[in-house]
Amino acid sequence: MITTNGRISRQFNIASNWDVPKRRRELFPKVTDVEWNDWHWQLRNAATSLETVVKYGKFQESERAILTRVIEKYPVVIVPYYLCLIDFDDPQDPIRVQSFPTGEEIEFADIGEPDPLQEEDDMPVPGLVHRYPDRVLMQVTNVCPMNCRHCTRKREWEEGLWTRDDHEIDRIIDYLRETPQVRDVLISGGDPLVLGTAKLNRILAKLRAIPHIEIIRIGTRFPVVLPQRIDQELVDTLSKYRPLWVNTHFNHPREITQEAALACDMLQRGGMPMNNQSVLLKGVNDSLPVMRSLCHELLKIGVRPYYLYQSDPVRGTEHLRTSIWKGLEIIEGLRGHTTGFAVPQFVIDAPGGGGKIPISPNYLLDETKDGVILRNYEGFVFEYKNPIPKEKSEETSERKRLFRGNERLNRRKKYHGNLPVFTSEKHYHGQRNQVSANVKNGQTRKA
């Protein structure tokens, strides 16, 4: 059961017949098992230059000029393992589409926003997005094992690489300690698992020392793009701080390899439940058969399909976005036709920081005097009656329900005043050099 470098050997029942070892022998014939299973070696040998992109991607020489411009604006990082998942004979290969640059990233440069979700405006301290009442997102780095071309935080690639230092982490911890309504912390990035295990341990220990923090989540794509990172030392470290959930990001069934299945299995055996958050991407998973296969394969490796995101209107990603109707069509084809928890929740992250809005096919057709008219997944229509109320006052109309005072906007006002507008397209990672458009005398306010 133990192979070179301590990796556990087990064959998982997955549908993908993509032969990663064969591709490895073709692309990296001189690499030893010890090197291949070392995630640090994978990161050091990632494809990042124009030359490696042209070499592996089989681009024409005439495409060099446009690729140079793209890479200068949106750098490339593709580790050797993920390169082995790509069919380079297919220019529209769904794995390639997620990882390799294309001229369309700058051809549509005027479409979308750098930060359409306005994460920066919901940061009471640099690196902490407090958008929802009881949960926060903690951004510890902007480094990833792969620069996904559809990334929501693509704006930060222009900033260079950074990781929060201990002082910045402590500012976040101080805010959380003083904010008792926060019970759920999502550690994100970049990808937090690029941090050394010792540093990750220190962050987790500080969070667990706060009594009102009930849940810790880690958002990572390492099980997908570099599963070698999931070793026993990491699993043992994470296990100490349960309840701890791992949210990962498979977009296509071919990404579910034996190596990825092993990484997920190790995390689950360590006591970490796993959810998957896919992004609906044109040419990758925007069809019912592909999405159904992805959801079924995820369940076979113990990962629950959690969210299907409508791709955010991020600058440099317009060529990958689909219509909202495509997402609804896919959910319509899944609901009732497969296991209930195999169907992810289709959501739109509202522009301007409005948060996730669930979008579903319309199963509620009409309202009657004492109930509703419904349809099921087959298209059959049913009348459903409400219980008879004892008093008329028990009936509460959803249409008459009042909205509460908006805590999120009040928080923005408290921590930012009139300074949520950026006059520069740089310095996005945590309000650094934030400048008010209302300041006319050249003064700035730094967070």
Q: Is 134 a catalytic residue?
A: no
Least Cα distance to 257 among 18, 29, 3, 7 occurs for 18
Task: Quickly count: other Cβ atoms within 10 Å of residue 181's Cβ.
Answer: 10
144, 221, 241, 412: which is the annotated catalytic residue? 144
Is the separation of the CB atoms in 45 and 80 below 8 Å?
yes
Least Cα distance to 328 among 284, 381, 282, 288 occurs for 288
Least Cα distance to 238 among 263, 212, 211, 210 occurs for 263
Measured between alpha carbons, how far is 32 from 57 in angstroms, rounded to an integer?
24
Q: Is 153 a catalytic residue?
A: yes
Long-range contacts formed by 162-167: CB under 8 A, 24+ apart: 162/429, 163/190, 163/194, 163/195, 164/127, 164/139, 164/140
Q: Is 84 a catalytic residue?
A: no
> Two tokens at 170?
């402590």
7, 149, 153, 229: which is the annotated catalytic residue? 153
Is the separation of the CB atoms in 53 and 76 below 8 Å?
yes
356, 375, 408, 432: which is the annotated catalytic residue? 356
171, 312, 411, 428: which is the annotated catalytic residue? 312
What are the phi and psi torsion angles at 143 (to 5°)? -85, 135
Least Cα distance to 319 among 114, 111, 117 occurs for 111
Dihedral, 21, 27, 32, 34 alpha carbons, nearest 10: -70
Measured between alpha carbons, how far is 97 from 372 in angstroms, rounded to an integer?
44
For 327, the 3-state DSSP assignment is: helix
Q: Is 148 a catalytic residue?
A: yes
151, 155, 241, 265: which is the annotated catalytic residue? 151
74, 82, 121, 148: which is the annotated catalytic residue? 148
7, 23, 96, 131: which is the annotated catalytic residue? 131
Is the separation of the CB atoms in 323 and 284 below 8 Å?
no
Q: Is 312 a catalytic residue?
A: yes
Is the separation of the CB atoms in 255 and 83 below 8 Å?
no
Least Cα distance to 190 among 228, 229, 160, 210 occurs for 160
Q: Is 384 a catalytic residue?
A: no
Q: Is 135 a catalytic residue?
A: yes
Measured between alpha carbons, how far is 404 from 307 in angstroms, rounded to an integer?
26
38, 149, 349, 428: which is the annotated catalytic residue? 349
Q: Is 87 a catalytic residue?
A: no
| Packing angle of the helix pair 324-334, 288-300 (nearest 10 deg) | 60
132, 184, 304, 326: which is the annotated catalytic residue? 132
> Two tokens at 193?
């698992």
The residues annotated with a catalytic role in the active site are 131-132, 135, 144, 148, 151, 153, 312, 349, 356
